[in-house]
Amino acid sequence: MILTPEQQAMLDGSKGEVMAKIVKTLVMYGDTFGAERMIPVTSKYGHTVISYGLKVLDPVLDVFDEIIDAGLTDGQKFTADPRPLDKNVPSNLLEDLVFKKIMYTDQARYEAQMEKLGILNDNAYSCTCYLDQVGNKPGKGEILSWAESSAVVYANSVLGARCNRNSGILELFGSIAGFVPEFGFLTDEGRKADWVIEVKCEKKPEAQLLGSAIGMKVLEDVPYVKGLDKWLGNELNDDACAYLKDFGAATASNGAVGLYHIDGLTPEAKELGETLIRDGAQVYVIDDAELERVKANYPVIWADKEARPELCFVGCPHLTLKQLCDWTDAIDRKLEENKLKKVSVPTVFTASPAVIAEFNKTDKANILKRSGVIVSYICALMYMNNPLCKKKAVITCSNKLRTYTSARYYTEGEILNIITSKEAKA
């Protein structure tokens, strides 16, 4: 890799030993992928996937201390993934003990570090940093140094920004150094599609199920998806963006997709069409039966597979304002149909603090509250990491949450039916 004189000086220690290690890491990272140069990070803000002070992650927090002690705190400001704890989310005394005395004992240390390193504000903790309410929405073509698989795939695909699937810690290195190695999704060639996905479903495919099927098939390749236009249309409106948010999160967690193109909808597919598809791209045809097959193969690791659901999580990734409103309407309607006042399974909807604040200004907030649903800013995955919570019969419509925890996956329609029925059954 050819470095500029300034970058070479940084590597040689002109800005201290810690900055030299940061640049060395970025150079080795770039060399591995054939990068020939570093390019400036051009987005206004960064985003970090690290949002929790887990005791076991002390080595990571020690790196942050090194950076802070070296005075490298004037890099790009950034948002971060959701916080792990919220007293409003149901947990018993023992679970609380594990959360606070064993797991997230370093949360205060971590948040103090983030403040020194440049977290945007105290409410900037959400995996959906790109929503208008949160305010970290990069433009097309901007170069990012982000991590958080669902945010990276959204920024690349829906916003047309350019970001590699960086790891936690390394994304902050890019924000601090101000440059990243140019390879992969930062290049035109790296944004071409290796797969054509032909969606031939009779009904609108569930976003998180379709994303799961594609992620498992293409792993880290770039898919070009055809056949969604009859449901999503050709404009990136609120519904289409919410669908793609959930779809992308599933492709990224069930596989390793960092960029997808939706024919006639996402910015580069609109601009460049099928010229984005590489010669010899493989084809994967998805119909309703294929989605059923994928869903039926998800392992259920509950001890009692017939257990009554004890908790339901909706909102991984965090819900948009419109999704919160739509879920509220749907629950209200179903509860009335079933002559119930409250949901029959303790249910938590998760969204960013900024979206929750907006939602609370609407009349729907009271309706949702009356239904018994809790709205929280937490990361459901962080909650489920508690081994005591892992033993609970938790249901979700998030394929990301399913992948990383013992939560059992159902479609959004199935979740709605379960939580609004008199005898909730999985």
Partner 1 sequence: MKEFKGRVIVPGTCSAEALVSHNGFNTLASFQMAIMFNKKGVPCGDQNNPDLYNQKMQGKALCLPITIGSTTGGMILYTVLAVGKAPACMLFSESIDSLAASGAIMGDVWTDSSMPVIDRLGQEFLDYVKTGMTVTVKDDGVVEVE
Residues 174-233 that bind partner 1 (CB under 8 A): 184, 215, 219-220
Q: Which residue number, 233 or 387, has a Cβ lying nearer to partner 1?
A: 387
Q: Token digits for 111?
A: 């948040």
Q: Token digits for 112?
A: 């103090």
Helix (H) or strand (E) holding 61: helix 58-69
Please state whether beta strands 374-376 and 347-351 pair in parallel, antiparallel, or not at all (unpaired): parallel
- Of 5, 87, 299, 339, which one interacts with partner 1 (CB under 8 A)? 299
Q: One symbol per residue from 68 to 97: x for binding partner 1 (CB under 8 A), - otherwise; what is it?
A: ------------------------------
Residues 262-281 that bind partner 1 (CB under 8 A): none
- Cα 121 versus chain centre, distance: 19
Q: Token digits for 332?
A: 């209200």
**Minimum distance from residue 265 beta carbon to partner 1 (Å):** 24
Beta bridge partners of 40: 179
Residue 373: CB atoms within 10 A of its CB come to 22
End-to-end CA distance of the chain: 55
Omega prior to 223 cis, within 30 of 0: no
Q: Is 226 helix (H, G, I), strand (E, B) or coil?
A: strand
Q: One symbol per residue from 348 to 387: x for binding partner 1 (CB under 8 A), - otherwise; what is it?
A: -------------------------------------x-x
d(CA 258, CA 207): 16
Q: By CB under 8 A, which span of 26-34, 87-95, 259-267, 279-287 interacts with partner 1?
A: 26-34
Does residue 39 bind partner 1 (CB under 8 A)? no
The closest alpha carbon to 148, from 10, 52, 288, belongs to 52
d(CA 109, CA 153): 30
Does residue 301 bind partner 1 (CB under 8 A)? yes
**Minimum distance from residue 57 beta carbon to partner 1 (Å):** 6
Q: One symbol per residue from 117 to 136: x for binding partner 1 (CB under 8 A), - otherwise; what is it?
A: --------------------
Whether the Cβ atoms of residue 419 and residue 344 lie closer than 8 Å to each other: yes
Q: Which residue number, 44 or 390, has a Cβ lying nearer to partner 1?
A: 390
Name the DSSP class of 303: S
- Of 32, 88, 237, 338, which one interacts with partner 1 (CB under 8 A)? 32
- Of 166, 175, 266, 320, which one interacts with partner 1 (CB under 8 A)? 166
**Minimum distance from residue 388 beta carbon to partner 1 (Å):** 11
- Of 43, 79, 133, 149, which one interacts with partner 1 (CB under 8 A)? 149
Assign residue 285 a region (left: φ > 0; alpha: ψ between -120 and 50; beta: otherwise). beta
- Of 1, 39, 70, 256, which one interacts with partner 1 (CB under 8 A)? 256
d(CA 126, CA 81): 5
# chain residues binding partner 1, by CB under 8 A: 45
Name the DSSP class of 140: T
Does residue 141 bind partner 1 (CB under 8 A)? no
Which residues here bind partner 1, judged by CB under 8 A? 21, 24-25, 28-29, 32-33, 49-50, 54, 56-57, 59-60, 63, 103, 147-149, 152, 164-171, 184, 215, 219-220, 252-256, 299, 301, 385, 387, 390, 403-404, 406
